[in-house]
Structure 1
Amino acid sequence: MRNIAACIVLLGGGLPAVAVDWTVDDDGAADFASIQDAVDAASDGDRIIVAAGTYTSSQPGHVVDLAGKAIELRSLDGPEVTVIDGQGIRRGFACVSGEGPGTVIEGFAVVNGFASNYDYDADGEVDTWEDSGGGAMLLGSSPVLRSCHVRGCVADSGGGLYSLFGGEPALEQCIFDSNTAVYGGAVRSFQASPTIVDCEFIGNTADFGGGVYDYDTTTTITDCRFAGNVANASGGGIYCQQGSLRLSGTLFSGNTAGSFGGGLLCVDGTPRVDACTFLANDSQSGGGGACNYGCDSTFGECVFAGNSTSGAGGGLLNYADSDPVLQGCRFVANEAVRGGGVSSTPDSGPQLEFCEFQNNVAIEGGGGLDAQEAPARLIDSLFCGNAPVDLAGPIDDRGWNLFWSSCNDCNGNGIDDGQDIESGVSGDIDGDGLPDECEVDCDGDGVIDLIELLDGTVDDIDANGHPDECEDCDGNGLPDAWSIENGLAGDCDGNLIPDSCEPDCNQNDINDVCDIADGGSDDDDGDGVPDECESLCIGDLNQDGEVGIEDLLLVLSRWGTQYGVADLLLVIQGWGCG
């Protein structure tokens, strides 16, 4: 029987609106035997409590339509025994009337759902979206699905669930298992903003996005698990395109792709991926763990371990003008034909900060990191045990990088680092498990930077853990990046190097790169040197037609006032001209 809820909401000036609990039991011992009948009877604020059983419908489109009502639909005993069965001919749930977060669906199994053709908008035609979403269809709707188990559902788009056209649904503690689609084996979203928290995607299959397929969305996925999903084409775990995916605390394990992105494929977007683990994923063409395809993504504190590909980028592949930033990421024991840890195509240049590359393997190129025409910018990173070599291709080495032949014996004395420290053979002043002699000594004075910073013998005004004197190309006593950030040095090309440290062959106080880019100088041969400088001797500072000792002495005599590092480099470059 229905029960009056304890909470009564008073309507201003009218009669009280009473929230009602409705009961459903397919055995008949309740207010209704049908969930849909209960929904039709309910009003906003009501609850529907469903007893254990298997529920279906003769309605061709779905088993249950929430009809735009802000109601709570809950099972009494959980998804193990409370089943919505689409019978292979209809979807489980439909939310197509603007449902909001007041619509809650909790504790059901949705099985055998099928995205049947159904004219939801009653326009006389079945649109593409109307034959999508095997388990659930969410059209411009924002319900909460909690503790649901969606399995064995089928659709062209969104085997388990399809969210589209502006909705902000929340999926919490749900499991999507063994669902199938062309796009998004478990979930597809299009121009929507779903939030997915603490969910599992297991053994789903699609051509694109075995687990999830996102297109033009702002999806947020937190603390989830993608395991054993398959993409016949690309994106074994997730395929995201033209959106701003936010992904954190999520595990990708054992996912596969027939082409790119065993765990994750991002296309033409700006995803942010934090504290995620990519473990033992595989792809055929590239990006065993993950692949950026025209994406400027950011990866922070992620782990790529044991991933593989028959192409390039066992851990991560950057493809088609992708310039990602990787901060604090670890690449361990990944395998590829080229670039065991990370590989980039000629038009892609990643930036890597505070990353570790350990025991990655490639058949050719760099075992740890492989770059081609566009240089990889490398800062504060560690390489050890990679084969055949740590690095290959153009590298923009910004300093503080460490290279060891063995990950367990950094000083090469034949003794494990831990034993070195324990026995007192090596110090470990910062307690990071590394012998002090293996850490950075940027000024080469025999004392590692950390000790000098701790005892105050060097400055670190920007608190980045590096002595300022080793980051000061223009000799102004301040670290270059800090000088630029605080407006004390120019950086017209945005490469974090003060303009005064870069070539300015025509001495017009504009570095050559910016001179050419701004149209101030021509560069017909595309060699990066202004044409007016190539008819002269580069480095001929005294303009006597020759480059030699007189120009060098001129630089030294006016060092720090008129001339600096960039001018010295010009003299060296043009030495002997004339």
Structure 2
Amino acid sequence: MKHILLAVMLIMIPAVAGAQTLIKVPLDYAKIQDAIQAAADGDTVLVSPGTYFENLNLLGKKITLASNFIISGNFDDIKNTIINGSQPRHPDTASCVLMISGEDRTTMITGFTLTGGKGTLWLDNHIGSYYREGGGILMENSSPVIMYNIIRENEALNRTGGVSAGGGGMRMDGGNPMILNNIIVNNKGRYGAGIVLNYTSAEIYNNLIAYNSGGDDYGGSGIWAYAGTNAVVINNTVISNSSLKAPGGILFWNQQGVIKNNIVRGNTAPAYPQIQLRQSSSASVTYNDVQGGFAGRGNFDMDPALNPVNYYPAPGSPVVDAGDSGVTFMDVAGIQPGVPMLPSLGTLRNDVGMTGGPFARLLPDVPVSVNEYDPAPVSGYQLMQNYPNPFNPSTNIVFSLPQAERAELAVYNISGQKLLTAAEGYFEAGTHRVAINMNNFASGVYLYVLKAGSVRLAERMMLIK
């Protein structure tokens, strides 16, 4: 925690200290949007923990919109300060956040969970057609900083009134946003379920982009980049995204840019499951750990041995010290000479993935996410026996909900101590499957518990190593 607190303070304090006014929500204003409306350039809108059912518009303000995380460095402030976009005033403006008025690098959003957004029906001026985009965040001709957020369970799926829908996590067009140190998981879209870049430059550093799904129309469920001049994708972990059309992980389509020092593995699609450079794309693809391999200097294909809770590599992982050896890509130096600050490992040479490089910071733990969903109606709450059982170290848990609602699936020891949150959030009615990995736990009997409203269901499972 000391490492992350120091890192956050070094980056964030200038924004707060230089603010003309510190506006607090809900102390000064009950709604975040009202606080944004009242803010002047240079102000900081500081939001206390809570769930805010709002669909925000930054209005071009040069402000910092932040949770208490910028002061506390406590990950709970990220998890518990929630902007939920599921109750929009108009169904065609259902993004959690709009940044569509020329916001620049002096505009920052940091320290939130963004969830429940369903995208905004938006005119693509390049071709004159409407698309529903940006479930979590929609950006147009803007260059803000988006950092230290959890962007999860948003979607862009509804094609009503438009050609298609994409950018479940976020969509940007024009400008040059900086996207770093975010967790972008479990979003859905007919293209670019995680991130869409459309005719734009962007700097994308040290994000976890995982378990996003869809790709029904144009593929690319991790990062989908089209016709931009310079997309910089460096030191990200892009894993377990699934697409019904190629590719699964990263698509550059008539796109220029750099793909460097990333882990790109476990993504699925009918073809090009990990990376595809389509048509006239011109990109440098180097020093990546790509499942199945990819041509380019320094690229390799080795299991990174990621922790299933926080997706950090284990000591001795082949991604440690395997990135570009250039000085500009070095890990952050720690107190001991030649040893990096956590989460980086080994020496100061770049670690491939989100834990390496000059922007690497500790991030919140991430529960393994729901990776299958069947919307068929069910008659009641159900929690099935895990399979396989006994297991080592991975197993699957299936549960069903008769209605859309918030739910939690967690693992406990037999003494009742919670060990792992396997899935948590707002779930549609139907049947869900969760894959969990308990590699870091000892053999024994464990309980897994489903909580939804007043309902509590539990089953036992056995881990044998």
TM class by smaller structure: 0.5 to 0.7
CA contact (8 A) 2:293 2:300 kept: no
8 Å CA contact 2:124–2:130 kept in 1: the answer is no
- Matches of 2:241 and 2:148, distance apart in 1: 20
Q: Give structure 2 stretches of 5+ with no counterpart.
A: 1-14, 70-76, 157-164, 305-323, 325-465
Q: Quote the Cα distance in structure 2 between the aligned partners of 1:118 and 1:167.
A: 17
* Aligned residue type for 1:234: A
User: Matched residue of 2:189: which SS?
Assistant: coil
Specify whether residues 7 and 265 from structure 1 end up closer, same or farther in structure 2 by C-alpha distance, changes over 3 A only: closer
1:53 counterpart = 2:50: yes
Pair 1:278 & 2:290 matched: yes
Aligned match for 1:261, one of 272, 275, 289: 272
TM-fit CA distance, 1:119? 8.0
Q: 1:6 to 1:219 in 2, by over 3 A?
A: closer
The separation in 2 between residues aligned to 1:239 and 1:178, in whole angstroms, is 18
| Residue matched to 1:160 | 169
Q: Structure 1 6/64 Cα, relative in aligned 2: closer, same or farther at 3 Å?
A: closer
Question: How far off is 1:6 after superposition?
Answer: 8.9
SS of match in other structure, 1:300: coil
CA–CA distance in 2 between the matches of 1:150 and 1:120? 23
Q: Note the 1:91-240 alignment, pairs <5 A.
A: 91-117=95-121, 128-129=130-131, 131-155=132-156, 156-164=165-173, 166-207=174-215, 208-217=219-228, 218-240=230-252
Partner amino acid, structure 1, of 2:61 = K
CA contact (8 A) 1:261 1:289 kept: no
How far apart, in 2, do the equivalents of 1:236 and 1:142 lie?
Answer: 27
Please state how far the C-alpha of 1:189 moved relative to its aligned partner.
0.7
Partner of 1:295: none
Instruction: Give the secondary structure class of the aligned counterpart of 1:272.
Output: strand
C-alpha displacement of 1:148: 0.8
**2:61 equivalent in structure 1:** 69
Q: Any conservation in 2 of the 1:35–1:50 contact (CA below 8 Å)?
A: yes
Matches of residues 291-306 of structure 1 in structure 2 within 5 Å? Answer: 299-305=296-302
The CA deviation string for residues 115-150 of structure 1, in whole angstroms up to 9 with x for no partner, is 1436899xxxx9525x21111100000000010111
* SS of the residue 2:296 aligns to: strand
User: Kindly tell me: are residues 134 and 6 of structure 1, through their superposed partners in 2, closer, same or farther at Cα, counting changes over 3 Å?
Assistant: closer
Contact 1:24 1:38 in 2 (8 A): yes
Match of 2:84 in 1: 85
Change beyond 3 A, Cα 1:6–1:158: closer
Q: 1:245 Cα deviation (Å)?
A: 2.6
Alignment of 1:283-322 (within 5 A): 288-290=292-294, 299-305=296-302
Q: Could you tell me how far apart the structure 1 residues matched to 2:214 and 2:293 are?
A: 18
Deviations 1:159-181 (A, max 9, x none): 110101x2100011001101111
Q: Distance in 2 between matches of 1:47 and 1:6?
A: 6
From the superposition, tell whether residues 127 and 233 of structure 1 become closer, same or farther in structure 2 (CA, over 3 Å).
closer
Q: How many residues align?
A: 264
Amino acid at match of 1:250: N
Amino acid at match of 1:38: A
Offset at residue 213 of structure 1 (A): 0.6
SS at match of 1:304: coil
- Distance of 1:114 and 1:196 partners within structure 2: 23
Instruction: Report the CA distance shift for 1:253/1:119 in structure 2 as closer, same or farther (over 3 A).
Output: closer
TM-score (norm 1): 0.44
Residue 561 of structure 1 aligns with which residue?
none
Q: Which residue of 1 aligns with 2:264?
A: 252
Indicate the SS of the match to 2:155. coil
Give the CA deviation at 1:305. 4.1
- Write out per-residue CA displacement over residues 186-229 of structure 1, whole angstroms, 9 at most, x where no aligned residue: 11111101111100111001321010110012210111001110
State the 1:182 CA deviation. 1.1
Superposition deviation, residue 94 in structure 1 = 0.2
CA distance in 2, matches of 1:162, 1:224: 17
- Structure 2 Cα separation of the partners of residues 147 and 109 of structure 1: 9
**Identical aligned residues as a percent:** 27
Q: Which amino acid aligns with 1:163?
A: M
Paired AA for residue 209 in structure 1? G
Q: Which amino acid is 1:82 matched to?
A: T
Amino acid at match of 2:45: I
Letter in 2 for 1:194: A
Q: 1:67 to 1:240 in 2, by over 3 A?
A: same
Equivalent AA in structure 2 for residue 114 of structure 1: K
Structure 1 residues 6 and 245: alpha-carbon distance in aligned structure 2, compared to 1, 3 A threshold: closer
Equivalent position SS for 2:37? helix
Q: Distance in 1 between matches of 2:236 and 2:180?
A: 10
**CA–CA separation in structure 2 for the residues paired with 1:248 and 1:120:** 29
- Cα distance, 1:224–1:138 mapped onto 2, change above 3 Å: same
Counterpart contact for 2:168–2:189, Cα < 8 Å: yes
Secondary structure of the 2:79 match is coil
Question: In structure 2, what is the Cα distance between the partners aligned to 1:267 and 1:254?
Answer: 20
Query: Which one has a larger percent strand, Structure 1 or Structure 2?
Result: 2
Aligned equivalents of 1:120, 1:263: Cα separation in 2: 27
Q: What is the Cα deviation at residue 241 of structure 1?
A: 0.6
Give me the whole-angstrom Cα distance separating, in 1, the residues matched to 2:59 and 2:123. 15
CA 1:119–1:53 in structure 2 vs 1: closer, same or farther (change >3 Å)? farther
Which residue is 1:532 aligned to?
none
Greater RCO, CA 8 A, separation 6+: 2
Structure (1 or 2) with the larger CA radius of gyration: 1
Which secondary structure state, in structure 1, belongs to the residue aligned with residue 166 of structure 2? coil
CA contact (8 A) 1:246 1:271 kept: yes
